[in-house]
Structure 1
Amino acid sequence: MQQYLSTLEKSWFELHQYYHFSEPQKMLNKLISAYSEKQRAYHTVQHLYECLTLLESIKPYLNDAHAVALALWFHDAVYDPKAKDNELKSAELFEQYLAADLSHQTVIKIKQWILATQKHAPTDELDLQFLLDIDLAILASSPARFVEYEQQIQQEYAWVDPEIYSVKRKEVLRHFYQTEPLYQTEYFQQSFEQRAKSNLKNIIQ
């Protein structure tokens, strides 16, 4: 985990320089603690690090890169594999932590973005399209990382009967495989789509 923390800290304090958080270190500590909870195997600081690292390379395409980064920081801040309201609770936690530090308009926007990571529905909002694509970029990772990702997800659902899990997981992956296009932005469609579909095909066959 240590290899991720310096990058995450740098990202967080860049946001602090822009937004001027009232308690930046305290909030950072709480978020790192949240992403390090024992029920997590995939939705961890590793996932957060991978999202924010990818964000760095696409900042020029975004209208409000700071808001996208902040949404990424909070999009899995609450994660219980047995719950169905993680995104809602993550959005509420974001508001609880930062409503006093941000404009009302920014709070509303980022809350809506966090909620959108639940269903990944198509949107015309460019920054949100990129946010959702970043969240699914893991599907286009290297074959070794993709295998690790699948193992991590399975670990988070270890409480589910293995046979039921296998069926349900393939349903989820088949849905991704059959979604045309899988990614919403042209950038991701050109750079990630083919690799993601190849990874998915190998699993669902």
Structure 2
Amino acid sequence: MADLDDLRRRWLATLPPAPDGAGHPDPARYGEELLKRWSEPQRRYHTVEHLAAVLGHLDELERYAGDPVAVRLAAWFHDAVYLPDRSTNEERSARLAERALTEAGVPAERVAEVARLVRLTVTHDPAEDDVDGQVLCDADLAVLASPPAAYAAYTAAVRAEYHFVPGDAFRTGRAAVLRQLLDLPRLFRTPYGQRNWEATARHNLAGELEMLSLPPDPSA
């Protein structure tokens, strides 16, 4: 289970209260709202555990970022709106970030960067010179390089989120996602990600894709 108190500390370290208040709301309220969103009952993979994992991976990757604060804020918002049956989650999450961070007094340039990064998680395909996008996408995709048991738990959680999708349709859709990822020239763009995660992630994705191609077990 994710440590909610640790997440609260992380949030306030990223968006601390203004020294003089500056007329802006207490940033803690935004952190609580985000934690509430990440704890919604329809989530099985996109949970506070996923948020904590992404933030933990950012600890490993932060040195590659141009604006580490924007990247961390984008991590908090990147799946803040999440309904498994919708295709607009990233866009709605980006708009939530724009509204909330502007209200909280974050400078407009950083707000725009956070929203851009959130939208980038639709494709996980940052440009070669997009260091912030590379860091966020690598942190978000690091789960793909999990050890076998953790990767199996990840795939089971994804399936549980899409429990309403019939088996054949899920296998077809999931296989398309896996192929899209495997077709990327590189899954990970930071030197750390390429060195530590690329080979394992490709092995996991290929194995899952092979499993999806097998006939379903009628006794399952």
Q: CA deviation at 1:180?
A: 2.1
Of residues 184, 187, 195 in structure 2, which corresponds to 1:190?
195
| Whole-angstrom distance in 2 between the partners of 1:87 and 1:139 | 20
Give the SS at the match of 1:41.
coil
Give the SS at the match of 1:89.
helix
Distance 1:19 1:119, change over 3 A: farther
Structure 1: 5+ residue stretches without partners: none
Q: Which residue of 2 aligns with 1:109?
A: 113
State how 1:131-146 maps to structure 2 within 5 Å. Answer: 131-146=136-151
State how 1:165-184 maps to structure 2 within 5 Å. Answer: 165-184=170-189
Q: Which residue of 2 aligns with 1:153?
A: 158
Q: Which residue of 1 aligns with 2:73?
A: 70
User: Once the two structures are aligned, what percentage of the paired residues are identical?
Assistant: 35
1:105-140 deviations in whole A, cap 9, x for unaligned? Answer: 111111111111112233121111111111111101
Q: CA deviation at 1:18?
A: 7.5
Report runs of 4+ in structure 1 exceeding 3 Å deviation.
18-21
1:122 maps to 2:121: no
Q: Which residue of 2 aligns with 1:201?
A: 206
Q: Which residue of 2 aligns with 1:164?
A: 169
| Whole-angstrom distance in 2 between the partners of 1:76 and 1:152 | 15
For normalisation by structure 2, the TM-score amounts to: 0.87
For normalisation by structure 1, the TM-score amounts to: 0.93
1:6 maps to 2:5: yes
Q: CA deviation at 1:19?
A: 6.6
Of Structure 1 and Structure 2, the greater helix share is in: 1
Amino acid at match of 2:108: H
Q: Which residue of 2 aligns with 1:60?
A: 63
Contact 1:19–1:102 (Cα < 8 Å) also in 2: no
Amino acid at match of 2:109: Q
